[in-house]
Amino acid sequence: MDVSEELGSNGLRCRPGDLARVIYSKNPMLIGRLVIVECWNDDGRWNVHLLGEPAFGVTMYLKRPVITCAFAARDSSLEPIGPPDESVTLQTTADRSDS
């Protein structure tokens, strides 16, 4: 069984590769931002990539300050918009190669 089929059967709203909007976060700077849903994390959250400028936050376990485009989000904290179009995918790939 494909991981996206397995996750969909669990009632999750997002799937890997989806474009989504952050609708809830303890960090108010993330609310309303667009992300690409990457993969399901072992701790029950999605690994996501923030589109556009990186955001300031704190690491989950060590609580250290960080500026990043990568973070984890609960499925209920994301509003899926659908699969990204090519321009979003290309922009995301270009952003990563600059790092």
**pLDDT bracket for residue 18 (50, 70, 90):** very high
pTM > 0.75: yes or no: no
Between the alpha carbon of residue 66 and those of residues 9, 14, 39, 59, 70, the distances in Å are: 34, 25, 21, 7, 10
Q: Which domains does the chain have, with CATH numbers?
A: 3-98 (2.30.30.30)
Strand 46-50 to 34-40 pairing: antiparallel
**Which is it for strands 78-82 and 34-40: parallel, antiparallel or unpaired?**
unpaired
Backbone angles phi, psi at 6, to 5 degrees: -60, -45
pLDDT at 70: 94
Instruction: List, for residues 75-89, the tens digit of each pLDDT value.
Output: 999 999 977 665 555
